[in-house]
Structure 1
């Protein structure tokens, strides 16, 4: 049974989309996991990025899958054991119209539109990664209601902690209103995009005062500093690209360990990484 994961936050520009895609690539290529990526954003950055990397063509999207009540019909294969459901910018409008048509409250819709359809996909994948906006809207409600584990993207600084608190209490309130929502925050992934240092040279995440922080700190290295790092003609150095691969391989390795321990013990803990700090890995070939 596949695990549904969101890298979430209530603040834009924290690297949610990049982390979602890179972690999915690491899970698929390095850990040989069956992975599904879903773009549930209004900006469609993930859809555009996937198009750049894989040059895929698909007229189907998430909205089409919702309309026919079958997400499997809109899955686009990208490579072996890696699939994708493209997004569409009118998604929130669809949710709003569906609520209005049935005269239901916002929270009541969390159990009607996406969760059951997501459940039908779980047996086909090891991990399903959903990319979402930072807005607390009906789409976010449905994604949270469909998710097993949430990793909060934690920017450094007071603003980042305020944004994290906002998401934490929003999810808590949603679970109180809808007891069937089971999403669990499985940790904080520290983000310091002002730092140009490689991830393995940054201070330990514990220095940010987040007890359950991942060991890795997402930094703005040379690869991520490119305006379009995923583009095939990007000018970034191969070593920098490999460094980014190593960073997100560490993220997935720890995520997998946390999910395993959460299921076994009801709590998560850090595990030793499979990659040495700074070791280059290839995710795109």
Structure 2
């Protein structure tokens, strides 16, 4: 299949973007698709989660020799800094020095268009066609750094936790993408859909927010697969991704993200 660069996003923090990135990419890899995740957040939560996950399958400690910002500053080929997590799943790690990224773009390029297009050019040169999926895990902010990440994407999935502020954040993000990236920089990025994250099945507030999202974005743009807020996902932040074949909670957790992965393939028109 043709490489798809994708990001799960919302401008409100704590909606499950990093967990979704990790568990969808993990399960796509288990399905046989070659996946890369790029940690684009200086908090490096995805890096931490995947290093812990890798340690579960390896007897040795995994050192991070080159972080994303080091590769950018020294013009190192991104393919040289990937860390294998499991079969078919690689990570480009990040660290706290990534807060310098916007300053790097401003000091290196003379105009805004070149700054916004930098990451897309780097991915196209170093990584595209080496993977089926490339996921960019971004922080919940507006600004030059995320502009360059979204510009590099082919598809975005808006993660909508069923809270009023998350819905407002989704609306603002859609308007921002249209006015800033598409209208100003002629980005070809598309929104694959809205992925609901429910706090409690059949809860009244969840239902009301979901109905509002349907009215705002259209039923066809809402994923039929829903993610529930799950304690097992929170535990994985501490332990790394667990995948016990006889553990009912692991099985239920992965089933939810497998369903999302399959719907992504369906929406992209990819036959499993």
TM-score bracket relative to the smaller structure: 0.7 to 0.9
Kindly tell me the number of residue pairs found equivalent between the two proteins: 253
Matches within 5 A, 1:178-257: 178-179=185-186, 181-192=187-198, 194-195=199-200, 197=201, 207=211, 209-210=213-214, 211=219, 212-226=221-235, 228=237, 230-231=239-240, 238-257=247-266
- Whether the aligned pair in 2 keeps the contact of 1:41 and 1:133 (CA below 8 Å) is yes
CA distance in 1: counterparts of 2:223 and 2:241, whole angstroms: 30
CA distance in 2: counterparts of 1:5 and 1:139, whole angstroms: 16
TM-superposed deviation, 1:59: 1.2
Per-residue CA distance 1:40-90 (angstroms, 9 max, x = gap): 012110011111111232211211222315211111122322111001222
Per-residue CA distance 1:3-40 (angstroms, 9 max, x = gap): 101001100000000000000011000x2001101100
Cα distance 1:69–1:182, how it changes in 2: closer, same or farther (>3 A)? farther
- Whether the aligned pair in 2 keeps the contact of 1:4 and 1:128 (CA below 8 Å) is yes
TM-score by length of 1: 0.80
Cα distance 1:231–1:97, how it changes in 2: closer, same or farther (>3 A)? closer
TM-superposed deviation, 1:95: 2.5
CA distance in 1: counterparts of 2:111 and 2:95, whole angstroms: 23
CA distance in 2: counterparts of 1:57 and 1:89, whole angstroms: 16
Name 2:33's counterpart in structure 1. Answer: 33
Between Structure 1 and Structure 2, the one with more helix by share is 2
CA distance in 2: counterparts of 1:39 and 1:95, whole angstroms: 15
| SS of match in other structure, 1:215 | coil
Cα distance 1:170–1:5, how it changes in 2: closer, same or farther (>3 A)? same
CA distance in 2: counterparts of 1:98 and 1:209, whole angstroms: 35
Q: RMSD of the TM alignment (CA)?
A: 2.8
TM-score by length of 2: 0.84
- Whether the aligned pair in 1 keeps the contact of 2:162 and 2:210 (CA below 8 Å) is no
Higher normalized contact order (CA 8 Å, seq sep 6+, divided by chain length): 2
Name stretches of at least 5 consecutive residues in structure 1 with no aligned partner.
262-270, 275-285
CA distance in 2: counterparts of 1:45 and 1:148, whole angstroms: 23
| SS of match in other structure, 1:48 | helix
Matches within 5 A, 1:1-285: 1-29=2-30, 31-55=31-55, 56-67=62-73, 68-105=75-112, 107-111=113-117, 113-120=118-125, 121-173=127-179, 174-179=181-186, 181-192=187-198, 194-195=199-200, 197=201, 207=211, 209-210=213-214, 211=219, 212-226=221-235, 228=237, 230-231=239-240, 238-260=247-269
Deviates more, 1:72-81 or 1:143-152: 72-81
Name 2:59's counterpart in structure 1. Answer: none
| SS of match in other structure, 1:252 | helix
- Whether the aligned pair in 1 keeps the contact of 2:167 and 2:213 (CA below 8 Å) is no
- Whether the aligned pair in 2 keeps the contact of 1:153 and 1:191 (CA below 8 Å) is yes
Name stretches of at least 5 consecutive residues in structure 2 with no aligned partner.
56-61
